Structure 1
């Protein structure tokens, strides 16, 4: 197990993504992701320093849901 894997998956917990990483997945600006979190469209966690982080499984589930919705049009 590498050092980075130990940091991102301690005790098999979900990996946390930054707003920039989420924005890349959705192809939007990171500020859009922050607005979604503020509006409650996507759940976020605050770090002790006040930064937002997003659970990878939740982000990927939302992305899959939105992709399926668009595909059915």
Structure 2
């Protein structure tokens, strides 16, 4: 499934440059993740890089965008095509 940034985000600007798909951007109040671009870093890294660098652990799985690893990998292949 895609990831989502919750309201605990402190706008530290650390996650955005770590996203290999460009899925993270500044929203009105906090950073947001575009679920159409988020592959949880599958195809690029073993672990989601935004979650790895977040100092406040405000990034969670997005229950509204459930995807298995194969679906995320297929999305990755489309994004790099």
Per the TM superposition, whether the score is higher than 0.5 is no
More helix by share: 1
Q: TM-score, normalised by structure 1?
A: 0.32
Q: Normalized against structure 2, the TM-score is what?
A: 0.30
Structure scoring higher RCO (CA < 8 A, sep ≥ 6) equals 2
| Structure of higher CA gyration radius | 1
